[in-house]
Amino acid sequence: MQRPHPRRAWLRTTLLAPMAVSTMRAGLAGVVANLAAQAPALAAPEPGATAPDFELDGPAGRVQLSKLQGKLVYLDFWASWCGPCRQSFPWMNDVQARLGPRGLQVLGVNLDARSADADKFLAETPARFQVAFDPKGDTPKRYGVKGMPTSVLIGPDGRVLLTHSGFRPDDKAELEARITDALNRMAATGGRSAT
């Protein structure tokens, strides 16, 4: 193997490497500036804000969020490639089975561009709750979703109660406590509001 000429090595380390770093920083700064300019459009709805309505196709027909008004909705954005999403499905199935009779509706919105990917995931990890598909990804933009899974707890009045990013087994107790608390408040107010 031939060693590079000392002047070429000096040129690479002294001139070219800092230029490359400077170019990468400028590119990264441009990306950050572009994201910052878009941030207001991508902000998640704050607690108390009205949850953005949507209507999407699902395996059992059209799913529209506003038609679930009067129920406590646990809206979960998921994708087939997401490991934590796979972990969250058994818990969401369990919570829907136990707390559905009290007024909870779990709604999973899949974001896969290819329906075959979602179908394979659901064949391996069945959902015993409502599912809708958003292959264009318009709905998560309206909710400011930045990672998978992201869940939004929506009160019976259509207002956001909580937004949660990610899913770990340690999250179950806190999420379920928030859901149960909202259901208890719903029962105390005759189902009008959980806020």
**Rounded distance, CA 76 to CA 131, Å?**
9
- Is residue 17 predicted with pLDDT exceeding 50? no
Query: In which band, very low, low, confident or very high, does the pLDDT at 26 lie, cut at 50, 70 and 90?
Result: very low
Query: In which band, very low, low, confident or very high, does the pLDDT at 43 lie, cut at 50, 70 and 90?
Result: confident
Q: In this structure, is residue 184 part of a structural domain?
A: yes
Question: Which pair of tokens denotes residue 114?
Answer: 């290819």
**What is residue 190's predicted lDDT score, i.e. its pLDDT?**
79
118 plus 85 within the same structural domain: yes
Structural domain count of the chain: 2
Question: Which pair of tokens denotes residue 33?
Answer: 């500036």
167 plus 75 within the same structural domain: yes
Domain of 162, in residue numbers: 55-188
- Which stretch of DSSP H or E encloses residue 132? strand 130-133
Of 22-36, 62-76, 172-186, minimum mean pLDDT range: 22-36
Q: What is the DSSP letter of 163?
A: E
60 plus 143 within the same structural domain: yes
Question: What does residue 51 show for φ and ψ, rounded to 5 degrees?
Answer: -70, 135
75 plus 156 within the same structural domain: yes
pLDDT tens-digit profile of 160-194? Answer: 999 999 999 999 999 999 999 999 999 998 776 65
109 plus 38 within the same structural domain: no
Top-confidence residue, 16 or 62: 62
**Rounded distance, CA 130 to CA 157, Å?**
19
pLDDT tens-digit profile of 71-93? Answer: 999 999 999 999 999 999 999 99
32 plus 126 within the same structural domain: no
pTM for the model:
0.78
**What is residue 72's predicted lDDT score, i.e. its pLDDT?**
98
Reduced to 3 states (helix: H, G, I; strand: E, B; else coil), residue 161 is strand
78 plus 23 within the same structural domain: no
**What is residue 121's predicted lDDT score, i.e. its pLDDT?**
97
Q: In this structure, is residue 48 part of a structural domain?
A: no
170 plus 128 within the same structural domain: yes
Q: How far is CA 112 from CA 47, 121, 133, 137, in A?
A: 27, 10, 8, 8
Top-confidence residue, 125 or 11: 125
Place of tokens 């007024």: 103
Q: What is the CATH number of the domain that holds 81?
A: 3.40.30.10
pLDDT tens-digit profile of 115-126? Answer: 999 999 999 999
Q: What is the DSSP letter of 143?
A: T
61 plus 118 within the same structural domain: yes
**What is residue 174's predicted lDDT score, i.e. its pLDDT?**
96
**Rounded distance, CA 92 to CA 83, Å?**
15
